[in-house]
Amino acid sequence: MTARVVAWPVFLLACAAALLTPAPVRAQAPAAGSGTPVPRTADGRADLSGVWNKRLVVNTGAMVEPLPFTPEGLKAFNDVWNHIDPTSRCIFPGVPRVNTSPYPMQIVQLPDKVVFLYEYMHNYRVIYTDGRGHRPAWEPSLMGDSIGRWEGDTLVIDTVNLTDRTWLDDHGNRHSDALHVIERWRRTGASELSYEETIDDPKFYTRPWTVSWTIPLAPKEWVVMEYACTDNNKDLYDGHLQNGPLDGSLRNGSAIGPPAPPRR
C-alpha cells in the first residue's frame, strides 16, 4: 500500500521529466541520418516512402521558448484551462498536430503526389506536388488545404485554410484561424526522416517560429493499424474529460504571465 502511494508521485515526476524533455531542435541535433544511402525513386528523387515510427512531441513550443505571443495569442494560451482538448472528443488533431502523435504513419510517394496515411484517428493527406495552387473557395477545415513542392530532396508542404478548433499539440499550444503551416520533410538516411514545421500565425504570434525533430523508420513488420477513436471510447460520454492539457502540471513554468487557475 505504502509502496504504491510512494510510487505514484515518482511515476508522475518521471512522466513530467520525460514529457518535458523537448525533441531536439535542429541547431542542437542536425539530422545526421543513419549513415546509409537515401533510397531513391526511379526518377532519382529521395524516396520518403515507408512506415515511420512517429514520436510523441508533447510541447512543440518548448523548443522556442519564449513563444512570441501577440496579446491575443497569450490570452488564448492561458485560456486553455477553459477548453477540453479537442482530440479528447475525437476531433481530428489537424495540421500540424497530427505529426506530433506517437502512432505510426505510412508515406506513399508518387511522381505527382505524396500520400500520408496516419494511424492516429485514421487520418490521411494527399499532397499534390504537380504545381497546383491552393483552392480559392473551400470552407476552412481541420486538416486545411495542403499543397506540396520539392526543393531538392526536401518535400515542402504549405497548408492554409485551417480552423481555430484544433490545438498545436498535447500541451495546448494554440493557433488562430490565420494559421499558415510550412512543413519540410527530408529523408536523411535509409532509416530516418527529418521533420520541420513553421508556425506562421500573425494573429497569435508576432513572428513565425520553427521547430524540428527526427522520426525513425518503423520495424520492418509494422503496418498501419486501425485507430477508430470512437470505437470504444468510454470517455466521450461518461464525464471523464477535463479542461486544459492532459497534465496541467506540465504548464508550470511554461506560461508567460500567470496562467488562469485550472477549473476542475
Closest CB to other proteins among residues 24, 208 = 24
253: amino acid identity, one letter? G
Q: If 0-12 CB within 10 Å is exposed, 13-18 middle and 19+ buried, where does residue 128 land? A: middle
State which of positions 148-207 bind other proteins (CB under 8 A).
170
Work out whether 139 is an interface residue with other proteins (CB under 8 A): no
CA distance 222 to 50: 10
CA distance 49 to 69: 36
Closest CB to other proteins among residues 85, 192 = 85
Window contacting other proteins (CB under 8 A); options: 13-21, 29-37, 172-180, 207-215:
13-21
**Residues 248/264, Cβ–Cβ less than 8 Å:** no
DSSP 68-100: -B-HHHHHHHHGGGGSB-GGGGT----TTGGGG
Q: Which listed residue (136, 151, 234, 263) binds other proteins by CB under 8 A?
A: 234
DSSP 117-137: EESGGG-EEEEE-SS----SS
**C-alpha angle with apex 239: 88 to 236, nearest 5 degrees?**
40
Tell me which H or E stretch contains 14. Answer: helix 2-20
Work out whether 237 is an interface residue with other proteins (CB under 8 A): no
Work out whether 88 is an interface residue with other proteins (CB under 8 A): yes
Work out whether 6 is an interface residue with other proteins (CB under 8 A): no
Window contacting other proteins (CB under 8 A); options: 26-34, 63-71, 173-181, 234-242:
234-242
29: amino acid identity, one letter? A
Q: What are the residues whose beta carbons fall under 8 Å from the beta carbon of 143, sequence distance 6 or more?
A: 92, 94, 95, 98, 123, 125, 159, 162
Residues 92-131 as x/- pattern, contact with other proteins by CB under 8 A:
---------xxx---------------x------------
Work out whether 82 is an interface residue with other proteins (CB under 8 A): no
Residues 40-79 as x/- pattern, contact with other proteins by CB under 8 A:
----------------x-x---------------------
The closest alpha carbon to 91, from 199, 233, 186, 217, belongs to 233
Window contacting other proteins (CB under 8 A); options: 34-42, 74-82, 83-91, 152-160:
83-91
Number of residues in contact with other proteins under rule CB under 8 A: 39
Window contacting other proteins (CB under 8 A); options: 3-11, 28-36, 144-152, 154-162:
3-11
Q: Which listed residue (117, 160, 182, 222) binds other proteins by CB under 8 A?
A: 222
Q: What are the distances in angstroms from CA 253 to CA 233, 248, 257?
A: 32, 11, 10
Q: Which listed residue (65, 72, 112, 235) binds other proteins by CB under 8 A?
A: 235
**Interface residues toward other proteins, by CB under 8 A:** 1, 4-5, 8, 11-12, 14-15, 18-19, 56, 58, 85, 87-88, 101-103, 119, 170, 222, 225-229, 231-235, 238-242, 246-247, 264
